[in-house]
Amino acid sequence: MIPIQDLLHRIQWDAGFSRGDFRIGYFDRVADRIILVSWSAVRLRSGDHRVLETLEEGGGIRAIPLHRVREVWRDGELIWRRAPSPRA
């Protein structure tokens, strides 16, 4: 399985691959569920390969550790899913 940071960089830099509607699903510990956000609301920090940022509706920014990213969807199709934790 491709590491999540490699997939995110491919979406960011590969013009042919990045055509489509991408959604990133991360696990929100407070809501205890996976939250889907549009790729257009995602920012990758330059030089930081451990965190992505999401722009919230109210204008705030939320930092999401990459280990909490669980799914990536392209045009409604699941293209990447993190394997379940052995503790789960």
Model confidence over 5-62: pLDDT tens digits?
999 999 999 999 999 999 999 999 999 999 999 999 999 987 777 999 999 888 889 9
Number of domains in the chain: 1
The per-residue pLDDT for 49 is 79
Measured between alpha carbons, how far is 63 from 66 in angstroms, rounded to an integer? 9
Over 70: is that where the pLDDT of 85 sits?
A: no
User: Is 86 domain-assigned?
Assistant: no
User: Is 87 domain-assigned?
Assistant: no
Global model pTM greater than 0.85: yes
Residues spanned by the domain of 47? 4-14+25-81
Measured between alpha carbons, how far is 60 from 67 in angstroms, rounded to an integer? 21
User: Is 19 domain-assigned?
Assistant: no
User: Is 41 domain-assigned?
Assistant: yes
